[in-house]
Amino acid sequence: MKMTKRMYSRFTWRQSGDRIAFLVGWGLALLVGGGAVLYAMVTLSDNIVKLAVAVLAAAAGIATAIVAHSLNRVREIEAEQRRRKEENYKSILALVGQYVRNPKGHRDAMASANLGSWIVGSKEVVRLTIEFLDPYSQIYFVFRDEFHQFPPEPVSLRDPAEILHDLLLQMRLELGLEWFRSDDRAVRALFPPPEPDSAGSFKPRN
């Protein structure tokens, strides 16, 4: 399935969903606290109101510090995860040119680099890399959002240049780079001319 701008935007939104939920939770907590103080100001004596305001101010200060610390920690974790992804994806891309010219000689190196994606990469990068390494067989991929669905949906057979193009776009997405319109012509230029009788080369689709 070819990546679209809508899929790209949906992925970006999911990345920020947890952070938004965290901030909304703290906002609701402060709103409830503020409502309690307003109620106290209307119904209780001045001394109690002053005490309630002081308690709320202290609680708000603590909550602000906790939120700031938590967000900083989240950013640090995200930055470290992005750095590890970047290193892994670089190791894969460094082998692409060699692999497309000599698949048999560099298949093991590509497969080993892809193992790192199982630890720090996304399931989509793992899936696309596996499909790129073996585009001419039906692959039933184990990482699915609907993992209770049986039988799993098979990966459709596609041209290696198209698969590599989608793999590059997926890597850009996960590293926080913006979407851009493109086609697979630049990627296709990496591949040697088809040689149907040469072992290990990509054969043209019938």
Tens digits of residue pLDDT in 3-61? 555 555 555 555 555 566 666 666 666 666 666 656 655 565 566 667 767 777 777 77
Helix/strand/coil for 194: coil
- Determine contact, residues 81/63, Cβ cutoff 8 Å: no
Measured between alpha carbons, how far apart are the two ends of the chain, in Å?
A: 20
Nearest to 96 by CA among 132, 142, 45: 132
Q: Is the pTM of this model over 0.85?
A: no
- Determine contact, residues 48/40, Cβ cutoff 8 Å: yes
Tens digits of residue pLDDT in 73-96? 888 888 888 899 999 999 998 888
Residue linked to tokens 């990482």:
143
Cα(20)–Cα(30) distance, rounded to whole angstroms?
Answer: 15
